[in-house]
Structures are given as structure tokens and as C-alpha cells.
Amino acid sequence: MFFDITIMDIVDVVLVALLLYYLYRVMKDSGSLNVFLGILIFFFSWVLVSELLHMRLLGSIFDQLMSVGTIALVIIFQDEIRNFFRTLGSHRRLRFISKFFSRKKDDTDMADVMPIVMACNNMAQQKVGALIVVERNVSLDDYVKTGEVINADVSQRLIEAVFFKNAPLHDGAMIVQKGRIVAAQCILPVSHNLDIPKKLGLRHRSAIGISENSDALAIVVSEETGSISAAFGGKLMQNLDARKLEELLAKS
């Protein structure tokens, strides 16, 4: 009966709706939206056949497909599942939990921020392309391994030397951890978000990609326009000046 519905039933429905919406956003950003919609159609068909229509033979077939399909889905969507939990763990409102259990200190200070800001400003004026990723709470060690180890203090001259047009390490990303430049020429995941403007190149897509897979701040200097952009949480902020970039880095 309608009047038998409790507050917990309503809360349950709302939470399920929020979960489905969040999964929808993750799948949309990863380019797997059509597959996700197909899975939803199959799931609701299974519920309709098994729970509402009580069709035993067809229901048993759906049951077998569901049991096998669950394992297949884990294999197919392992990257999306990893991204889902990584994004959930790096959510702003939940980040205090990771800080509580983590021994990391706030290593970012102005001595680390200003060399990055000044280097980006100079490279922007000279139209030198660059991609710098500043680690926050989610470890970037897997991406550090794809590049060349530097392990040096943050320095304006070093940053500009790495991204100099004829330098051997100018391609790829520079990663900054705990106030140190740990590696350059690192390979980052490329975002497949269809909403990204086509005029943006591989550096911008890589910056958005790493921000989708972690809580890092990714800074891009465009080689074509000389503009400075920053990606965080899958969102790209464009045409930044030195003051705005300094504010973003100070929060990292």
C-alpha cells in the first residue's frame, strides 16, 4: 500500500537515484555511456521478467547471464571502476578522511609556488608548451614511473630548461611531489570527454585526463596561443593570469 512507505524507503530510492546519476556522469566522461545505458536496460529487463512477471524459464536464463555478466563487467570496466573509487575518495567533502589517516603534511608553500608561476608566465610569453602536474592527496607514483626521474628542488630555471623546445624532455608531463620535481616526460591518461573543444590539443586533454583520475592540479601552457590553463576535478580553467595560478597552486 502507498501508506506503508516509510521515510527509509524514500531515502533508499533517493540514494539509488544519486548513485545511478553519479555512475552516469562517470560513464559519460569516459565515453562508455552507450554501454552503461545498455546495461541498465538489461538490468531492468531482468527485474521485470524475474520479479514482476515471474517468468521462470526466461528468468533463469537472465539469472545465469547476470552471474556471468558481473565478472565480465568488472573486467571490461576495470578502469572506470578504479576511476569511480578514486574520484569518490578524492571528493572535497571526503578528503578530510584521507588527511586523517595520511601522514602527509601540507608541503606546498610559496617557495614552491612562485617558481612554477614565474616559469609558466615566462613560457607563456615565449609560447613554449608545457604540462606540469602537482600532486595532492592521490599518489601519482604510477605516472612517475613512465617518465625520466629528476628528483630536484622546484626551480624556475629547471622548469624552463625541461620544456625548452629543443630539450629532450620537453614532451610529456612534469610531475611535482612534496615540493620537488620528481620526473619529466611522463605519460598521462588522455580524457575522452566529448565536451572538450576540438581546438584543444593533447596537452590539454592529458591535463583533464589526470585530473579525472586523481585530485592533482594540472597546469598547461599552450604552445599555439601562449595562454595558461589549469585542470582540476575534470574541469579546465582557461586564460589564467599569474595571480589566479598562484592562488590555485597555494591551495594544492
Instruction: Please tell me the distance from the alpha carbon of residue 240 to that of residue 23, in angstroms, as a whole number.
Output: 31
Cell numbers that stand for 11 in this block: 531515502
Tens digit of pLDDT for each residue in 67-76? Answer: 676 677 677 6
Residue 193 has a pLDDT of: 82
Lowest mean pLDDT among 68-77, 99-108, 137-146, 200-209: 99-108
Count other Cβ atoms within 10 Å, centred on residue 70. 9
Using 50, 70 and 90 to split pLDDT, how confident is the model at 31? low
Q: 3-state class of 118 per DSSP?
A: helix
| pLDDT tens digits, 190-220 | 988 888 888 888 999 999 999 988 889 999 9
Residues in Cβ contact with 194 at an 8 Å cutoff, skipping those fewer than 6 apart: 31
- Which grid coordinates are listed for 131? 604540462
Percentage of the chain lying above the pLDDT 90 cut: 40
* Residue 239 reports pLDDT greater than 90: yes
18 — pLDDT class (breaks 50, 70, 90): confident
Q: Is the pLDDT assigned to residue 110 strictly greater than 70?
A: no
Q: If residue 115 lies in a helix (H) or strand (E), which one and from where to where? A: helix 110-125
In the predicted structure, residue 3 carries a pLDDT above the cut 70: no
- Strands annotated E in the chain: 130-134, 148-153, 173-177, 180-186, 217-221, 228-232, 235-237
Is pLDDT of 41 > 50?
A: yes
- Domain residue extents for the chain: 2-101, 110-251
Coil, helix or strand at residue 137: coil
243 or 68, higher pLDDT: 243
Instruction: Give the chain's mean pLDDT.
Output: 80
**Mean pLDDT of the 64-87 span:** 67
pLDDT band (50, 70, 90) for residue 103 = very low
Could you give the percent of the chain with pLDDT greater than 70?
73
Confidence category of residue 83, pLDDT binned at 50, 70, 90? low
Indicate the residue type of 36.
F
**CATH domain 110-251 topology:** YojJ-like (1 (3.40.1700)
